[in-house]
Chains A and B, each alone.
Chain A
Amino acid sequence: MTAIDPTAHLTSEQIEELGRELDAIRDEVIADRGEKDAAYIRKVISAQRKLELVSRGVLLFSIFPPAWVLGTAGLSVAKIMDNMEIGHNILHGQWDWMRDPKIHSTTWEWDHVSPADQWKHSHNELHHTYTNVIGKDNDLGYGIMRVDEDQRWHPFHLGQPLWNFINACFFEYGIAAYDLELGKNLSKRRRKNPEFRARAKAVGRKIRKQVLKDYVIHPLLSGPSFLPTLAATFTANLVRNLWTHSVIMCGHFPEGVQVFERRSIRGETRGQWYLRQMMGSANISGSRAMHFMTGNLSHQIEHHLFPDLPSNRYAEVAVKVRALFEKYELEYVTGPLPKQVFSAWHKVFRLSLPNKKPKVGAPEREQELVAA
């Protein structure tokens, strides 16, 4: 556990009561979910597809600079919508209740090099269950970074600002490698495991398809605009990667977010699980357009409490959840995107160095808690 336990003032009865209140918030949304929500996701999907079609159409003439700018911007937004508000949330099962086989977590595939089923395992099962538990949640630094004082320092971490930047640029490949648990599975013994090989092959196929589409077929279709279109799709992928990486970093890395020790989750109750999600996530504040472009992951706290509620409901849920934070005197970590991104990067830089001795960490941390 971190230097100060910000939940120490709560009794176990209070924690269970908190759990019941959160359950009630969830039940309310489920009872009310219906036609309007279904219309929402269908509208978003339809808008995304039209935007992508039009943008790729415009890029056929990308040899003309205005067309290049317009097409690249449109395609970047379309890719972000596909990954965030649509893909991430459908793959969470947020829309399974509609029983529409075309918009279902078991049938959906996204514009991403990690195949949907592998991502669902590492993200939905591992990260969402073991959120911020050191050694269990690989999202904590993606296995290449140190993001908490309690993680042991290694000289490798000196380079972590650079690793993080490279990961941001090629984030979808980072995710694919991470879903494959490449770090662990590349050892001589595990490399030959048939299950791993099958999964690696699936990733290979997905990468091939994505690359062919973005870097061969569409540029070829553009004829004389081959090179500009190639540059445009590359840029759109880069923009999407940088954006999604920033949003996701803001979810768990900013200062004030807690991490947990493995043994602290043994025999965890529902109330304690909720509490861990509350303390282990951070929000991004902003306009409706901002929330939409982050796939409503700007409501990371609400998303972690209720990963399968439709994303269009997080905004209304957030009001009630925030009231519970106040009632139970817990810190609701949130801030505008630049501030949160800076905070997360600051941590990446700070923890690339070993901890300062002795224990100066504690008061410093307290100060941050108050400030945030």
Chain B
Amino acid sequence: MVTTPLLPSDYLDLVSPLRAGADLRGRIEAVHPETGDAATIVIRPGRGWRGHTPGQYVRIGVDVDGVRLWRAYSITSPTGRRDGRVTITVKAIPDGKVSNHLVHRAKPGTLIQLDQATGDFVLPEAKPAKVLYLTAGSGITPVMGMLRNTEFDDAVMVHCAPRPQDVIFRGELHDLVADKRLLLTEVHTDTDGMLDIARLDELVPDWAERETWACGPAGLLDAAEEHWTGHGVPERLHTERFRPGIVVAGEGGEVTFSATGKRVDADGATPLLDVGEEAGVLMPSGCRMGICFGCVTPLKAGAVRDLRTGEITEAEPGVLIQTCVSAAAGPCDIER
């Protein structure tokens, strides 16, 4: 009543954006380069931060050229750091608006939006006796979160990167090897070629007995899933995907955003999330690859196609769709 039409929090945000009870935010405190195109971002989270489990990711909202964009990144810091900070490690991907901004242009002091940590690419309660990490590129990041937390009796890692200097955390990994806490095989794909999954027998003879965490590009993960299933041990393999899978496109249609009264023509390949954002509709978003369900929105009418599978979803009361991996399949109406 005192502050109507604003809320007291609108005023408190001016002086204390990280206080308890505020929307969860964080402040970038430092940016440490890891390789030529990767950097670790040290974030001081707001008071509402509930911590994370090693291997989980966090969604962050960053203003790039004035536009708020949300992405998900694996947390690489150990849990319960004394200073309460968390780190994410980001690799700049070609044309990646957020990743390039964070790696090359982010400045200490910048406020970012945060979500609580989430994801089930985590270690089980009971420590497995033998562990294999199969990673490529920035797929190392969730695994680093695990390695920094737990000491294993028998841990093996096979990591792929184009060149030695592209291996993120290389120094720290080699220290672990020197301390005999990790067996590491680096595959340098520029010289060695892509990893042939059949070579695992030679690199890690007892791979099938190991609880395995794999993270990297879709090609590697698809091959791994096939390999583990083929040998009858799919339950030993845990994977984390960074990008959506295969794109299946079809006919588009006119999209109505009924809450804002906007109508736009959309093709059958563009995710409705992008269509809405382009049209100026305030769309919730998250990982942008169909994992986190941060973007779910009611489908009021019409049909949409899942870009990963080609599956068609038709409107019914209560039907929610993931706008980041759904495209228009004919005219449709989205409650935004």
Contact = CB atoms under 8 A, between A and B. Distances in A.
Interface string A101-132: 11010110111000000000000000000000
Contacts of A217: 1-2
Interface residues of B, number: 20
B11 A104 contact: no
A339 interface: no
B1 A213 contact: yes
A35 B66 contact: yes
A34 interface: yes
A38 B63 contact: yes
Given A96-B280, A99-B282, A209 B4 contact: yes
Interface residues of A, number: 33
A46 B14 contact: yes
A217 B260 CA distance: 35
A210 interface: yes
A204 B143 CA distance: 57
A38 B66 contact: yes
Contacts of B277: 99
B66 A34 contact: yes
B65 A35 contact: yes
Contact of A104 (B14, B69, B282): B282
A99 B68 contact: yes
A101 B5 contact: no
Interface string B251-273: 00000000110000000000000
Contact of A93 (B3, B6, B280): B280
B14 A35 contact: no
A219 to B, nearest CB: 12
B151 interface: no
B10 interface: yes
B282 A96 contact: yes
Given A96-B280, A96-B282, A99-B282, A210 B68 contact: no
B4 A49 contact: no
B65 to A, nearest CB: 4
**Which interface residue of A35, A53, A93, A212 has the most chain B CB atoms within 10 A?**
A35
A-B complex: 7 closest residue pairs judged by Cβ atoms: A38-B66, A109-B5, A34-B65, A99-B68, A209-B4, A34-B66, A96-B280
Given A39-B66, A106-B259, A209-B5, 8 more contacts: A49-B14, A97-B66, A97-B280, A99-B67, A99-B68, A99-B282, A100-B63, A218-B2
Interface of A: 33-39, 46, 49-50, 53, 93, 96-102, 104, 106-107, 109-111, 206, 209-210, 212-213, 217-218, 221
Interface of B: 1-6, 10-11, 14, 63, 65-69, 259-260, 277, 280, 282
